[in-house]
Structure 1
Amino acid sequence: MADNNVSDHSVMQIKDEDKDYVIAENDGNMATLTEDRNAVELIVSSIRGRIQQQPPRPACSCIFRIPNVLRKHNEKAFVPDLISIGPFHHGEKDLQVMEEIKLWYLHCLLGRNPTSETSLEYLVEAIKGMEQHCRDCYEERIDMSSEKFVEMMVVDGCFIIELFRKYAEDLPINKDDPVFKDDPVFYTAWMRLALTKDLFLLENQLPWKVVDCLFHHTKEKDGPESKALLLLALKFFELSAFNQDPHADRPLETKHLLDGIRNSLLASYSSQATRRYWEPIPSVTELLQAGVEFKVRSDTWDNMLDITFENGVMEIPPIEIRGNGESLFRNLIAYEQCDPSITFCNITSYAVILDNLINTSKDADFLIQKEIIVTKLSKEDIACLFNRLYSDTVVGYFCYVELTQNVNAYYQDRWHRWQSILRRDYFSNPWSIFSLAAALLILGFTFLQTLYSLLTYY
């Protein structure tokens, strides 16, 4: 009986201990749940505080950072060497030398025709009124105060206008002219070339409305303005922009200088049957073996995109490629890749065609000999330029679908290849023709002799 009492007491004690353990465990779980709930609330609060209620990029943005996937192929093609325009490279140490020249150009511009509307106060007020539009033109939010941002727009914009006017007023440039005598941009041989390259970089652009506004507020009211701003700009870039005749009459709104250059290069070219799917075409060497002829359209320097193929003849307008040609190509292609408002990738499509045609330095040399490509670069440099020009791009709508279809159909026709072999091997010189004729005569006489012998026998 005593044993039973002891056992019952022990059981009760054990149950009490289990109860205390369960309560402690529940309290611990509650504390853990409370801690987890607090941690979740902190994370939710952090996320909500950083949620963007506005689109990360305004719909009107047209000036972009070069994506790393494109930049990696040749970073130097996208980075300014001498001058910063706009906010992306503003304040970089290597580009400070031009800041003094910018301010001097501003002084020169204000002194051309000093009126109330050309005063610095008036220009700043005009640009201040369009500040938000200017900020929205950049794909990134610009972390600059309103004062600094407007100041940058005015100084950079006035520099560009004064540069174009100086260049247009004294062509050909005479370094002894007082206009250029103290101007390092013009009397220093390398500086204008570097400046030209920097001004068409996609990351180095100003909204066109800024430049256009400053231009119209600083032009002479009574005197005739010789040329429109866009034509002044295109004349400045003419030699660098593949030496194509400027076209400032396309009915398109210009967004910035690079966009103006692109519109000019498109000229009157109209994209025909465009598709997302396209087929590559053989190289120059392969097409020559199939009997394709190449001709330069020497009558035109105003529409380099207008490549045609008809009856086995490919006609390609001439294009001049200088040292900064790759940089311009890459920035134009990057612009087409970044701007969602561009439907037809004309420049990218052109790069695809040239890349297909030029596989080796031999292909490049042929086009140089035909004066389709005019350049002082080596054939190896030209081949290297086009062979990797449109890597990692997406050709949304290809602009040469019909041309590539016709070229491939001609190339795959064996009769054209046989004709080419006959012309190359048997009709390339008089001796070959004489030998072929002699062989045919001998073959004919042999056949007649055999026929005569058979007839005689029967």
Structure 2
Amino acid sequence: MADKTEIISSPSDIMLTVGETVSSPSDKASLPPSPLPTESYIISAFRNYLSSGCKEPVLLLESAGQESCCIFRVPESFVAMNPEAYKPKVVSIGPYHYGENHLKMIQQHKFRFLHLFLDKAKKNGVDELALLKAVMDLEEEIRKSYSEDLGESSEKLVYMMILDGCFILMLFLIVSRTIDLSEEKDPIFTIPWILSSIQSDLLLLENQVPFFVLQTLFVESKIGLSSDLNRMAFHFFKSSIDKQGSYWEKHRDFKAKHLLDLIRETFLPNIRSVGESETTSSPHVQLHEGNSGKVLSSDSTGVPLILSAKRLRLQGIKFRPRRSEEDSILDIILKKNRLQIPLLRFDGFISSFFLNCVAFEQFYTDSSNELTSYIVFMGCLLNDEEDVTFLRNDKLIIENHFGSNNEVSEFFKTISKDVVFEVHTSYLKDVFKGVNEYTKRWYNGLWAGFRHTHFESPWTCLSSFAVVFVILLTMLQSTVAILSFLNDKKGDGNAAPPPGP
């Protein structure tokens, strides 16, 4: 019975904080002892405590682990490393950043674009009520697309989806010339940094609306076919992603979760190699800390990350730029000891895109890890400033429009710091394996070091030949001198004796 009293005393402390107040220890001592709370009262108080916790906004819904949930709030551990990388600069899309003060400038223009869109729909015989009903039917599916409890009323959420969705569609329609607008008089298109910033903001993970909302508004307004939406989106972003039309055309029918997912899909390699490595003998994985991040390895010893570019060069790995506008920058190939890497034009837009793609792959339960694989791979190669200089100046694999070479190196090392990366499911698993196997052979490094020392440039090559020539000439002179000495000695032994007196 004494034990039961001790157990009951703890919940009573909780109930005191909820209902009772104690002014001071002396007041409490002067009061007559209160009876112990009954079990039913304790249970009732505990249930009230549980229900009070449920009244707080849910920051991670139970449905966040399902395929339908694809728009996430980036956690503070990611934001701390790149504070400005996940926040919109000029325009909010969706509920996460709605109403923020620094985004009000473009927020006012959304209503102007909405009127333009509705006028175009009316010319096709569609009024705003039809669009409103179409989006209202999607409300439950919209809520399931976000990882947080939105807490918005049905009316406000639907209005937000229509306003933001029509704004995005009008941008696409105007830039693709499907709708004629005097861009010379529109500040969104005449002020250079605004459109560029909007392009970047539309590819932030926290700044998305479900793609099916865009498709519904686009089709229901009778402005175009659903299949045309991808084409217009590609046209909108192609000024920031320098690729030919054939590169975009093969992704025209892709079904995306949102705009970030759509553009991410165009970066995926042409040939995917996703699955267990040939050397994997066990399905168990182990967390292994590497230079550039955390690697889920496929064996008990861990799969090592590759060396930096300058160290791989000394081990005999040759770097070659892969020149093809058809290829994604992720199409990295290893042939024998030649590592072929497509040109990376690195700037602020691509850096923001990479950060948000990695975040999406880390959180979306149905995503593959191609962008994460590429980032970890490049983080290994670009370990310091010298590695960036080597791949930029000597091999022409990187075009740096981002900052200093050291800033590029720090970016890749930072972005891959806290990601979880599974080598055995990476499309680059054979490249990691091949590079490590080649560098393990000691004679490859010995021969590569000799070539690097003596034949890396025309000057070292000439000096090496000069040294060899001098050595050979010295050997030849020594041989001639020895032969001459031997001949003289032999000649002295065969000479006739001098005549006697």
TM-score of the superposed pair, with normalisation by structure 1: 0.83
- Could you tell me whether the CA contact under 8 Å between 1:185 and 1:191 is conserved in 2? yes
How far is the alpha carbon of 1:131 from its aligned partner?
Answer: 1.1
- AA aligned to 1:155 is L
How far is the alpha carbon of 1:274 from its aligned partner?
Answer: 4.8
**Corresponding residue to 1:118 among 111, 119, 126:** 126
Q: Aligned pair in 2 of structure 1 residues 51, 81: CA closer, same or farther (>3 Å)?
A: closer
- Could you tell me whether the CA contact under 8 Å between 2:331 and 2:341 is conserved in 1? yes
Residue 91 of structure 2 corresponds to which residue in structure 1?
83
Q: Aligned pair in 2 of structure 1 residues 267, 292: CA closer, same or farther (>3 Å)?
A: closer
Residue 15 of structure 1 corresponds to which residue in structure 2?
none
How far is the alpha carbon of 1:241 from its aligned partner?
Answer: 4.4
Q: Aligned pair in 2 of structure 1 residues 116, 429: CA closer, same or farther (>3 Å)?
A: closer
How far is the alpha carbon of 1:162 from its aligned partner?
Answer: 0.8
- AA aligned to 1:405 is K
How far is the alpha carbon of 1:438 from its aligned partner?
Answer: 3.4
Q: 1:323-361 CA deviation, whole Å, 9 max, x = no partner?
A: 23221111000000110111x311111001100000111
Q: 1:215-249 CA deviation, whole Å, 9 max, x = no partner?
A: 1233447xxx7972112112222343475843553
User: Aligned to 2:396, what secondary structure does the other structure show?
Assistant: coil
Residue 56 of structure 1 corresponds to which residue in structure 2?
62
- Could you tell me whether the CA contact under 8 Å between 1:165 and 1:232 is conserved in 2? yes
Matched, 1:411 2:439: yes
**Cα distance in 2, alignment partners of residues 345 and 87 from structure 1:** 27
| Aligned pairs (5 A) from 1:31-430 | 32-34=35-37, 38-47=41-50, 56-57=62-63, 59=66, 60-112=68-120, 114-115=122-123, 117-169=125-177, 179-220=182-223, 228-241=228-241, 245-246=247-248, 249=251, 252-274=254-276, 276-277=296-297, 278-342=303-367, 344-369=368-393, 370-377=395-402, 378-396=404-422, 397-427=425-455, 428-430=460-462
CA-atom RMSD in angstroms? 3.2
How far is the alpha carbon of 1:418 from its aligned partner?
Answer: 2.7
Q: Aligned pair in 2 of structure 1 residues 133, 447: CA closer, same or farther (>3 Å)?
A: farther
**Cα distance in 2, alignment partners of residues 449 and 146 from structure 1:** 103
Q: Aligned pair in 2 of structure 1 residues 442, 50: CA closer, same or farther (>3 Å)?
A: same
Residue 24 of structure 1 corresponds to which residue in structure 2?
none
**Cα distance in 2, alignment partners of residues 84 and 213 from structure 1:** 20
- Could you tell me whether the CA contact under 8 Å between 2:121 and 2:127 is conserved in 1? no
Residue 6 of structure 1 corresponds to which residue in structure 2?
none
Q: 1:34-57 CA deviation, whole Å, 9 max, x = no partner?
A: 3575234311343257569x9622
Specify every segment of 5 or more residues in structure 2 that has no aligned partner in the other structure, as ranges.
1-31, 278-295, 298-302, 491-501
Q: Which runs of 4+ in 1 moved over 6 A?
A: 447-457
Q: 1:146-194 CA deviation, whole Å, 9 max, x = no partner?
A: 11111111111011011011112299xxxxx962022111100110111
- Could you tell me whether the CA contact under 8 Å between 2:334 and 2:340 is conserved in 1? yes
- AA aligned to 1:259 is D
Identical pairs, percent: 29
Q: Aligned pair in 2 of structure 1 residues 185, 77: CA closer, same or farther (>3 Å)?
A: same
- AA aligned to 1:43 is F
Residue 12 of structure 1 corresponds to which residue in structure 2?
none
How far is the alpha carbon of 1:250 from its aligned partner?
Answer: 7.3
How far is the alpha carbon of 1:252 from its aligned partner?
Answer: 4.9
**Cα distance in 1, alignment partners of residues 434 and 41 from structure 2:** 68
User: Aligned to 2:356, what secondary structure does the other structure show?
Assistant: helix
Q: Aligned pair in 2 of structure 1 residues 38, 178: CA closer, same or farther (>3 Å)?
A: closer
How far is the alpha carbon of 1:314 from its aligned partner?
Answer: 0.6
Q: Aligned pair in 2 of structure 1 residues 55, 227: CA closer, same or farther (>3 Å)?
A: closer
- Could you tell me whether the CA contact under 8 Å between 1:250 and 1:264 is conserved in 2? no
How far is the alpha carbon of 1:125 from its aligned partner?
Answer: 1.3
User: Aligned to 1:395, what secondary structure does the other structure show?
Assistant: strand
Q: Aligned pair in 2 of structure 1 residues 260, 371: CA closer, same or farther (>3 Å)?
A: same
Q: Aligned pair in 2 of structure 1 residues 178, 228: CA closer, same or farther (>3 Å)?
A: closer
Q: Aligned pair in 2 of structure 1 residues 320, 37: CA closer, same or farther (>3 Å)?
A: same
- Could you tell me whether the CA contact under 8 Å between 1:345 and 1:398 is conserved in 2? yes
User: Aligned to 1:353, what secondary structure does the other structure show?
Assistant: helix
Q: 1:88-119 CA deviation, whole Å, 9 max, x = no partner?
A: 11111221111221111112223335346532
User: Aligned to 1:95, what secondary structure does the other structure show?
Assistant: helix
Q: 1:230-277 CA deviation, whole Å, 9 max, x = no partner?
A: 121122223434758435537753100001011111152312455641
| Aligned pairs (5 A) from 1:434-445 | 434-440=466-472, 442-443=474-475
How far is the alpha carbon of 1:302 from its aligned partner?
Answer: 3.0
- AA aligned to 1:415 is Y
- Could you tell me whether the CA contact under 8 Å between 1:78 and 1:201 is conserved in 2? yes
How far is the alpha carbon of 1:209 from its aligned partner?
Answer: 0.5
User: Aligned to 2:348, what secondary structure does the other structure show?
Assistant: coil
How far is the alpha carbon of 1:445 from its aligned partner?
Answer: 6.7
Q: Aligned pair in 2 of structure 1 residues 189, 170: CA closer, same or farther (>3 Å)?
A: farther
TM-score of the superposed pair, with normalisation by structure 2: 0.76
Q: Aligned pair in 2 of structure 1 residues 435, 104: CA closer, same or farther (>3 Å)?
A: same
Specify every segment of 5 or more residues in structure 1 that has no aligned partner in the other structure, as ranges.
1-27, 172-176
**Cα distance in 1, alignment partners of residues 222 and 483 from structure 2:** 93
User: Aligned to 1:61, what secondary structure does the other structure show?
Assistant: coil
Q: Aligned pair in 2 of structure 1 residues 117, 393: CA closer, same or farther (>3 Å)?
A: farther
User: Aligned to 1:269, what secondary structure does the other structure show?
Assistant: coil
**Cα distance in 1, alignment partners of residues 471 and 397 from structure 2:** 40
**Cα distance in 1, alignment partners of residues 451 and 54 from structure 2:** 71
- AA aligned to 1:280 is L
- Could you tell me whether the CA contact under 8 Å between 2:231 and 2:252 is conserved in 1? no
